[in-house]
Structure 1
Amino acid sequence: MSASPESPAHPALSQPLILLLSLACGIAVANIYFPQAISPLIADDLGVTSASAAVVVTCAQLGYAAGIFLLVPLGDRLRHRSLVTTLLLLTCAGLVLAGTASSLTVLALASALVGLTTVVPQILIPMAVGLTAPERRGAVTGTLLSGLIGGILLARTFSGTLGEWLGWRAPYLVAAALALILALTMAAALPRTTPSTDQPYPALLAASVHLLRAEPLLRRSCQYQVLVFAAFSAAWTALALFVTGPHYGLGTPAVGLIALVGAASMFATPIAGRRTDRNGPDAVNLVCMTGAVAAGALLLTGSLGGAAGLVGLGAGMLLLDVAMQSSQVANQARIFALRPEARARLNTAYMTCAFLGGSAGSWLGVRAYSTLGWTGVCALVAILAGLAVLRHAVRSRPITTTAPVAATGTSASEGKDGVPAGR
């Protein structure tokens, strides 16, 4: 298991602790997303173009992908309490550096550092799964992801409103204070866990790559999330440019308001978790990917302008948020069933791929908006989600042969551990 109790008598996670972990996931992950709403303010203050300022968002996501690959495997190797506390303190330092940056270059580098160290949710989720009974893992994963979703979506409201009042630096400095408070809280509240492996660090990194090669279900989950998350990131990165541009001429709080509407999606992930426990992940994935295609079409109504256009943007973003986050619940339920002793390494491979997809989506979203306008962004969202549906349609059938896996000493197959390829 990726987290194991200090003794057999250690109780399962209590509901208050699960809710605290959910809150921690939201506060930590918000650092990756709140720059999306204030990139126009950054551009104005630093004297750069909006497209150039959007590089701050891309750097944060690239840093997050690097942090997932380089740091999350340590969740199988180190005690969670000390690891999580250290990462939060480093995140606090990176946010202070970003909030005091005097140039776009320094801000981009600080954003990459924040992304690198704010990977706490991807350590807490496998830990919580390891301390939860198998029949409740989907529900617990959904609860933690609901907190993560709240952080993603409310972050934009927080930064857009605070940035409009006090300038773009204020969200970074407030986030630094929250990271410090969270570090102290986690140091006191996290359960004592024992590492599941004593592999040296280079072997941990190699294991994540090896698992990606050895596990067909892991690869398929990664492909689903790369495409859906790329669509999600493309839409949100371009939204700030669209809403604050000449078509609407609104301030950054409008982006936050749309995000606040989307926060309703945080109530969908516990439902997705229960559906996954009951019906299997593939059924949930298909609904989510189809919903993401529909979201691309619904977002087109934003071109109408006025109140009708804003309502359409809010509805489309809500649908896209629900689709992306619920799909993640299903994907993580699928991969965590594969290797109980390597959940952090499985999550490393999965989330690294997902955030590389998100980084590519942010870049593509800006390019689509600059070249083709909002219609081009909506088409990009629909195309990416449609590719995910196509991948689901041609998914592998159950494999009966197995292949040895040196990294963990077990075997891999498309249908191992009671998770057939069709699920």
Structure 2
Amino acid sequence: MDSQEQSALTDTTAFSNLLANRTVIFTLAIACGLAIANVYYNQPLLADMSRSFHISVQQVGFIPTLTQVGYATGLLLLVPLGDRLERRQLIIKMFGLLTCTLVAVAISPNVIWLSVASFLLGFTSIVAHLILPFVAQITPLNQRGKVIGTLMSGLIVSVLLARSVSGFVGKMFGWQAMYWIAAVVMIFLALLIRQQLPVNRSPSQMSYPQLMQSLAHLTYQQPILREAAFNIALVFAAFNVFWVTLVFLLESPIYNYDSQVAGLFGLVGIVGAATSSFIGRLVDRWGARGVVGVALSLALSGFTILWLAGNHLMGLILGVIILELGMHSAYLSNQIRVYNLVPNAESRLNTVYMVINYTGGALGSLLGSYSWGIWQWNGVCALGFFLLILASILHFGGRRR
């Protein structure tokens, strides 16, 4: 047995032990969630930031946008490195860089510094999308859905709690405190990852320009990648069409609620966290394509209820729950389909999937506001339903091909 075969056998044994350890999987789920939560901490802190720098809330409102743009840029430029570099060390280094950017935000002396630091914070918060492809690669196909579903549960819960936690910490200790706390947490997670993850060297010898060029080649050569990515982009667009206009519906004479009630509706997203592991098991049992079909049916049902009964509180709540379930089911199932396509290319496949997904979400946000301004709630529901019909045609048309 040569050295490469012996190394592969050692890696296989280490990975089997890793997957058998639920504590490690739980740690990775928390790491994914807390890494991406950094993107959302600033949203409840904007008013405190505006007072700190003596600027208006409108002027500080671009800080979350810069963070999101940085995150999307990091997905495109950093995540492909997971297919080239030793993965454990890359994840640890990214946690280190993330810690530095959190400190940079916390010590911001002026709004320009804060703006640049916020962009870099988003840019380095992509650790979850290094961990997910890494775990997908080392997980057997018949367990991949369950394991990825567990990681997604941690991610969803962390995003849901991020706004509430940062708002509480900001009120009690000042907005900078949240970023100091997060920096300490990132250091702790880096140490845990170093202790619990095995070394995983990529067999690829591609240069960085070749990695980036291969994104276009993968997109061209893999029809399932295109189908899954554009499918979830349409679903995510419909999802955002609803969420960006919900506050307008709740503040209308139909309900006369304030924005705080709209925030409480976000807690319905816990449905996605509670069901992710179950959905992953269904993917392992039925196959990812079959679950995508079910997810699209759920999302269409959710929008139908919102359209017909959205003017009644119980109808609105039921529609949101079913829409959330459909969205998260489609996201997880399509993501697993993508991971299964090309061995040792999981990070680049994930990059294509996520960039197209975020593009669809941004388009949905824009179209949603436009539809509400012209056609109110009927226009919003018609647009969301239309986008989901397009996603269904793409999905079932792909099956025929």
Q: Deviations over 1:210-265 (max 9, x none)?
A: 1011100000000011112223344444556776899655465x455333332132
Q: Is the 8 A contact 2:102 2:121 kept in 1?
A: yes
Percent of aligned pairs with the same amino acid: 35
Looking at structure 1, the residues matched to 76 and 237 of structure 2 have their Cα atoms a distance apart, in angstroms, of: 18
Match of 1:275 among 282, 285, 299: 282
Residue 299 of structure 2: aligned partner: 292
Give the gaps of 5 or more residues in structure 2.
1-6
For 1:56 and 1:374, locate their aligned partners in 2 and report how far apart those are by CA, in whole Å: 29
Match of 1:354 among 346, 350, 357: 357
The structural deviation recorded for 1:294 is: 3.2
Call closer, same or farther: CA 1:34–1:195 in 2, change over 3 Å. Answer: same
Kept in 2: contact 1:297–1:382 (CA 8 A) = yes
Which residue is equivalent to 1:391?
394
| 2:240/2:365 contact within 8 Å kept | yes
Cα shift at 1:343: 1.4
Number of aligned positions between the proteins:
389
Q: Deviations 1:56-92 (Å, cap 9, x if unpaired)? A: 4443333222212211111111122221122122223
Q: Counterparts of 1:312 and 1:169 in 2: how far apart (Å)?
A: 40
Unaligned runs of 5+ in 1: 399-423
CA deviation map 1:358-387 (0-9, x unaligned) = 333344445555666566544443333232
Q: 2:47–2:57: 8 Å Cα contact kept in structure 1?
A: no
CA distance in 2, matches of 1:323, 1:151: 20
Change (3 A) 1:359 1:370: same
Q: Deviations over 1:87-131 (max 9, x none)?
A: 122223333444555776655543332222111111111111222
Equivalent runs, 1:10-159 vs 2, <5 Å: 10-12=14-16, 13=19, 14-35=21-42, 46-49=55-58, 55-99=62-106, 107-159=114-166
CA distance in 2 between partners of 1:134 and 1:207 (Å): 24
The range that moved more, 293-302 or 85-94, is: 293-302
Q: Distance in 1 between matches of 2:38 and 2:115?
A: 13
Which structure's residues are more often helix, by fraction?
A: 2
In 1: Cα distance, 2:108 partner to 2:248 partner: 22
Q: CA deviation at 1:171?
A: 4.5
Measured after TM superposition, the shift of residue 41 of structure 1 is 7.0
TM-score, length basis structure 2: 0.82
AA aligned opposite 1:77:
R
The residue number in structure 1 matching 2:3 is none
1:136-193 Cα deviation digits (max 9, x unpaired): 1111111111212212222233345555666665544543443333233223322211
Quick one: distance in 2 between partners of 1:55 and 1:140?
Answer: 36
Which of 316, 320, 325 is the equivalent residue of 1:322? 325
Asked if the contact 1:23/1:148 (under 8 Å) is kept, the reply is yes
Where does residue 220 of structure 2 map in the other structure? 213
Residue type matched to 2:14 in 1?
A: H
- Relative to 1, partners in 2 of residues 1:4 and 1:75: Cα closer, same or farther, differing over 3 Å? farther
Secondary structure of residue in 2 paired with 1:196: coil
Mark the structure with the bigger radius of gyration. Answer: 2
RMSD of Structure 2 on Structure 1 (CA): 3.5
For residues 172 and 256 of structure 2, what CA distance do their matches in structure 1 show?
A: 20
Asked whether the 8 Å contact 1:290–1:386 carries over to 2, the reply is no
Letter paired with 1:191: P
Distance of 1:19 and 1:381 partners within structure 2: 35
Give how far 1:55 is off.
4.3
Between 117-126 and 375-384, report the one with greater CA deviation. 375-384
Contact map agreement 2:108 2:114 (CA 8 A) in 1: yes
Structure 1 position 286, deviation (Å):
1.8
For residue 203 of structure 1, report the CA deviation from its aligned partner.
0.7
The 2-side partners of 1:385 and 1:136 are apart by: 29
SS of 1:32 mapped into structure 2 = coil
Letter in 1 for 2:190: A
